[in-house]
Structure 1
Amino acid sequence: MTLVKFNNRTRNTAPYFNNVFDSLFSEAINKNLTVNKVPGVNILESATDYKIEVAAPGLSKEDFQINVKKDTLSVWAEKKEVATEDKKDYTRREFDYFSFARSFVLPESVDADKITAEYVNGILNISIGKKDESQSSTKEIKVS
């Protein structure tokens, strides 16, 4: 078997017509993929509470809604575009306004009355307090 070295110098120097279609097609795919993107979440547990950190930059605290129903914590946000009179002739516009929803199943040790939320520097911090250990006492049963 003989290996033949292929050197296509014209491909690197001459503009290709396919590159235009490739770039338009990849932009359309990327735009569709980023519309449904869900923000990342960190969940921390300490002795007294759970903490959920949601990375959601570009929003304000009024954009969030947090709800607890039975054992499920739901977080959703919607950024609405505000109509302005200032119209600009954009060649390309990539500002994207989005919405997302996340739900978390809470363990039995959670006290629903001790849930607080704070939005700082693009991160939504949700603190979920645990029940006192005196309320959830354990009992050891001896086998006879």
Structure 2
Amino acid sequence: MSDFYFGTDLFSELDRLQRQLSTFGGFPSSLRSSQLGTFPHINIGTTDDSVEIVAFAPGVDPAKLDISIDKGLLSISGERATRPQQMSEGTRQYAQERFEGPFRRIVELPQQADPDRVQARYVDGCLLISVGKREASKPRAIVVQ
């Protein structure tokens, strides 16, 4: 008889174990960050023509953002200014979820990304970065003769 009981659904137990492990730092991904609470949060997607990155960075001055690509790594850095104290003077703070201060995120781009074809814009607190793909890597139809 085993000392371990997994119930009838092994997959739900594995899911629970993964959630518990993520509490302690999680598994590293292709993003060069494994810390919980990393700022800014990002989404990465792809189209036939480009790699699309959205960095959620509300409260960041777009003029203070620095975006660079070197050796297949996209770097986003800047600083989120501190806000004036909004709590009353006698309040003891025991939690703060809003990040303030300097930040840097590094994203590994796929090999088909073309570092010479990058566009970036800041809209409504979101940094939208589009990295074009190399022509040789785009899908194309082959005509059968």
TM superposition score normalised by structure 1: 0.56
Per-residue Cα deviation, 1:64-100 (whole angstroms, up to 9, x for no partner)? 1011111111111113469xxxxxxx52598863221
Match of 1:119 among 119, 122, 130: 122
Per-residue Cα deviation, 1:73-129 (whole angstroms, up to 9, x for no partner)? 1111113469xxxxxxx5259886322111011121111110111010000000000
Distance apart, 1:39 and its partner CA:
2.0
Query: Are 1:51 and 1:128, in contact at CA under 8 Å, matched by a contact in 2?
Result: yes
Query: Are 2:82 and 2:101, in contact at CA under 8 Å, matched by a contact in 1?
Result: no
Using the alignment, how far apart are the partners of 2:53 and 2:137 within structure 1?
25
Q: Which has the larger radius of gyration?
A: 1
Using the alignment, how far apart are the partners of 2:39 and 2:137 within structure 1?
38
Provide the identity percentage: 30
Distance apart, 1:58 and its partner CA:
0.6
Q: Secondary structure at the match of 1:133?
A: helix
Q: Secondary structure at the match of 2:136?
A: coil
Counterparts of 1:52-91 in structure 2 under 5 Å?
52-80=53-81, 91=89
Q: Partner residue of 2:48?
A: 47
* Matched length: 97
**Letter of the 1:61 counterpart:** P
Q: Which segments of 5 or more consecutive residues in structure 2 lack a partner in the other structure? A: 1-36, 139-145
Q: Secondary structure at the match of 2:135?
A: coil
Find runs of 4+ consecutive structure 1 residues off by over 6 angstroms. 93-96
Q: CA RMSD in A?
A: 3.0
TM superposition score normalised by structure 2: 0.56
* Bigger share in helix: 1
